[in-house]
Each structure stands twice: as structure tokens, then as C-alpha cells.
Amino acid sequence: MKKILITGGAGFIAHHVIDKILSSTDWEIITLDRLDFSGNLNRLNEVVNTYPESERKRVRVIHHDLKAELNPEIIANIGKIDYISHLAAGSHVDRSISYPLEFVMDNVVGTAHILDYARKIDNLERFAYFSTDEVFGPAPSGINYKENDRYNSTNPYSATKAGAEELVVAYENTYGLPSIITHTMNVFGERQNVEKYIPMVIKKVRDNETVTVHANKEKTIAGSRHYIHAGDVADALLFLYNYDLSTIPEDKTGAKCQKFNIVGKDEIDNLELAQFIAKTQHKDLKYKMVDFHSSRPGHDLRYALDGTKMKNMGWEPESAFKRLESVVQWTLENDRWLIT
């Protein structure tokens, strides 16, 4: 039986990854979490408790803050590991602008600590680092960034994610740590924090409130994203763990660490998205367009990644619209997750 260590397992994306692993494998799961604002143990508890007791025993939570290195007691408690998925991170852009050093500690120093632990593991099969589309910065119309395109961080959050990526690359080059890096676009799904756009719109439409839609300076074009369900992200991770990476042609630049864009099938502007959510609730959308850059400095109007690499390998996500309708209905029926 394989064993996987998932950092930030009580976080939004990670708890969907745990659900996928429970349903698709017989692996033992260790999650390392400090259980703060982002790490809500109730998420993990809800998912795990849908499985029989024999399956629930495969999941174990260890409390640890990665701002500190893993001490011998924590390492002994984890035991032998085959895979590591590093998802723990500070991810709130507004907070990173107000408290940048907090994000350096969580995202750069925290990644350094888990990497230094990982490099000492005998026969580790793969280390997966979850990064973000935001490392590339804003994407002009018609541009979809490929995995190894240049970075252009526009806020401390994306800069610290990019910095952590370089540490992963360095640990593969220096120590031979078998690593992959994923760039994931805007993720949505069940049990997402209501501060995020989709659950926020679900709540405001339900409560007949006005939805703010960020747009260009002329307030004529809404910002857009390639939205993807967290379940598809989890599916992509398992696909990558099971894929023979030796079959992928070497990068012409000599880069060893493979990177993968996990991209939603549809590019959706945020007005279209809000209208779809309102339609699903059988309501008219109340909204106002606002100047994005003036109202939220450090944020970007459009992000876009090229998903050709994963598609050519044989993986594609489901349509966000197909997933979104079920997420809206689930969230309304489980509205405890809309409490601020």
C-alpha cells in the first residue's frame, strides 16, 4: 500500500484531493496542517465521514506549522512516504498586499522546510508542488501562457508562489528530488470559503444583493478566468502520479523539473459567470461593473494558461458550466458554508 503526505489537507483544494484518493486508491493518507483560517477541519471531516470506518482509518491528521522545520518527532509520526503533495499556502491576494512578509514565511520558507524533509526520504517516488496561474501575471487578449513561459508576478502572493517554484526546481537539480510543478487556474467547488468569487456570488444572488463585477477602466469588459472544479484538479494530480514522465520529450532549454498547466475547459468572464449562477437560482442578476485596477491594485483582469500539454498526454477536465450548476445547488442546500 502506498502512502501520500498532503500538506494543507484541511484546505479547500486539498480536501478534494483526499476525497479523490479515498475513492480511487487504497493509499494511506497523512495530512500535515496547522488548522488556521484556510485549514478548516470540518471540510475534511465532512468528506471523510462519507466513507465506511475501514476507509476513514486511512486518513490521519498531524498538526504542524511549516514555518518551522519538521522535527524528529513529527517525522517519526509521519513514517515512510511514497508521494508528497504540497498544497499548504497562503493564498489570499488582498492579505498578501497588506502582509507580504507573512506570505514569504508561509509560501517560501514553508516550502523550503517541506523540501528539506523530502530530500532525505529514501525512494520517494514524486514530490508535487501546487503553484498558480498568477505567477505569469496578466494575460493580454489572445495570449495563453505555456508552462515554461516567463513569469511576471504582480502581487506578493504570486511572487512567493514563484519563489517557491524555484526552490522546487533547485532541489531537483541539486539533490535529484523527483519533482513536478502544477499551475492551476481558478478553482471552485463544494465547501469553498465564501470570500471567493463563486460562493460569494451564490450568496449575494440568494440574498438579492448586488454583485460587483471587476472590469476594465471603461467598465465594458469583465475580467475572465478558466474556471476548473477542484475534483478535476484532484483527478489531474492522480493522472500525473500515474503517468510515465520519462515519455515526455526533454525540454529544449535543459530544464529537468516538469511543469503542467491544469486548465479549465472554458474561459468565462465574471459577468457571464454571475449571470449563470443567477439563472441557476431562477433569479435576475443585480450587478455593477467597477474599474478593476483602481479598486483592486495588485490584481489582474485576465489570467489564461495553455492546457495543450496535459491534453496531449490524455487528460482534460469537464466543462465548468456542467460542474457549476451542481455546485450552486449543493451550496444552497448546505448553506452553512455561506456563513461569513
Residue 157 among the catalytic residues: yes
The C-alpha atoms of residue 115 and residue 200 are separated, in whole angstroms, by 35
Q: Which three cell numbers stand for residue 195?
A: 470570500
Residue 133 among the catalytic residues: yes
The C-alpha atoms of residue 67 and residue 162 are separated, in whole angstroms, by 18
Residue 36 among the catalytic residues: no
Q: State residue 28 phi and psi, 5-degree precision.
A: -85, 140
Q: Strands, E, within the chain: which ranges?
A: 3-7, 28-33, 59-63, 83-86, 126-132, 179-184, 187-188, 211-215, 224-225, 228-229, 258-262, 268-269, 287-291
In order of 12, 155, 232, 282, 327, the CA distances from 190 in angstroms are 8, 27, 13, 20, 6
SS3 26: coil
Q: CB–CB of 268/190 below 8 Å?
A: no
Residue of 33, 133, 172, 300 marked active site: 133
| Burial label, 247 (beta-carbon count in 10 A; 0-12, 13-18, 19+) | exposed
Residue of 83, 129, 145, 157 marked active site: 157
Residue of 19, 134, 147, 266 marked active site: 134
Measured at the alpha carbon of residue 58, what is the angle toward residues 68 and 76, in degrees to the nearest 5? Answer: 35
- The DSSP code sequence of 290-334 is EEHHHHSTT--SB--B--HHHHHHT--PPPHHHHHHHHHHHHHHT
The C-alpha atoms of residue 303 and residue 148 are separated, in whole angstroms, by 16
Contacts of 259 (CB under 8 A, 6+ apart): 147, 148, 180, 181, 182, 183
Active site residues: 133-134, 157
